Amino acid sequence: MSATQSDAIESHLAALGFDNRFAAELPADPESSNFRRQVAKACYSCVEPTPVTRPKLIGWSPEAAALLDLPADPGDGKALAEIFAGNRLLAGMLPIATCYGGHQFGTWAGQLGDGRAINLGEIVNKRGERWTLQLKGAGPTPYSRTADGLAVLRSSLREFLCSEAMFHLGVPTTRALSLVLTGEEVMRDILYDGHPAPEPGAVVCRVAPSFTRFGHFEILAARHDVELLRQLLDFTIATDFPHLDHADPRTRYLDWFDEVTTRTADMIVHWMRVGFVHGVMNTDNMSVLGLTIDYGPYGWLEDYDSDWTPNTTDASTRRYRFGQQPAVAQWNLGQLGNAIYPLIGEAGPLNAVLNGFAKRYTEGARAMTAAKLGFERYIPEHDDALSEELFALLGAVETDMTLFFRKLAQVDPGDLEGEPLDEAYYQPAPLDATYRKRRAAWLAAYARRAQIDGRSDNDRRAQMNSVNPRFVLRNYLAQLAIDKAEAGDYSMIGELLTVLRDPYSEQSGREEFAARRPDWARHRPGCSMLSCSS
């Protein structure tokens, strides 16, 4: 990189305007030493990232960089690697780790907090937008419990790619700015089978307006710290929901809870639309902004199975399975409602808001289903039975959900053979006559419904292709990128970012990135199920 390019990047970095409002307006932990402990009467602890030996930038999102007024081209990445690995703090940065609790797999877990996440600071960009920069994997904090606060390349690469893939799919999400190798190794037991092994370490820089979670409120309610609970909620509304800053506190809090409920319902509709399974929907992994947060053992629903979970820890109960995500979201919202109950004083208004989740989600899911089928709107008397039979068909044989909906747009109404759909099946040869007859009956019903809608075939296909992605971050694609990166080849990270930047287009010449899961990936760790090990 030329001296001019280097100077330009330094100039952009120096221009970042940090105001760190969270730290400025909320109480800090008075203990400055970095050791594991319970932190009370405070919303955060000051803690600096742990320096690493050989930081190397291997992933950079131009779109996320634009949010921060940073250049799309990272140049040689040396300065950026130093900063976004945590080795160098810019003027104005104030690194903190925040305190929160949460329900994990339905059980109250007490204090959790940012065990391996460190907020570098909050900036306000040239457009007046507030963005928090957060490093994940930059070392221990007071909330690390028995862990080391570090992260490995495989999980960091998955989070970096998926954050940006979800954004381009139109799913509300936190963003990922950078992926940096640390040059150090981290011990992890990936299968929890007593065989830990060293893995390359990495740090992701995540970006969001804020990283406030349901658990930030739960921990204060559990400790009966009502005044700090009120202070945190007033701050959250003023900072992230300024349009709700009414004079009457009770109305303000209920309106806030209603908006969090609405945003959460809308986010889950998008998850279901694209076949995303979060895998660990604990309350500490739920953003009050309705953003997908904490990409851990997530997965993409390749062969349609509403009972599938990507999380090995969840394998026995399947609490966080694909089809259960709306119900879990509502349960989590119930815990948030319990947390702010002391500020409302009665359960009735909170329950009324919570009960509205089902209506909002149902309406959203119906509109989403109609759009995926190319209809202008959802007509229950026709579409309830049509969609119920469709998802039964998808689950009856091993069917790639993404490919099926994409290929359905290519089927001409009245074509009861539906040959384009055959590409969506993992074992097309065994499709017996009974299944094909059942599919033909559904296609006939679909054709009749399309006639009722009255749209032209071109309009129907255009709508379907605008909501049914051609490309998603399939589990095996992420694993292939990990394999290459661990061998020192980072090219596939950029390739996938390029493809996933335009997920609804055909992208001639990139068909390999849309292919269904190969047989070798059926049971391989990282391609089928994942642990929380990171």
Residues tagged active-site? 284
CA distance 422 to 99: 51
CB neighbour list of residue 390: distance below 8 Å, 6 or more residues apart: 373, 442
Give the tokens for residue 158.
Answer: 């998955």
Q: Are 39 and 98 in contact (CB under 8 A)?
A: no
The secondary structure of residue 470, as a DSSP letter, is S
- Phi and psi at residue 180, to the nearest 5°: -125, 125
Relative to beta strand 276-277, strand 101-104 is unpaired
For residue 407, the tally of other CB atoms under 10 A from its CB is: 18
CA distance 195 to 285: 28
Q: Which residue type is seen at 4? A: T
Q: Are 52 and 159 in contact (CB under 8 A)?
A: no
CA distance 405 to 481: 26
Dihedral over alpha carbons 323, 329, 335, 339 (to 10 degrees)? 170
Query: Bridge partners of 118?
Result: 135
SS3 72: coil
Tokens 């634009």, residue located: 66
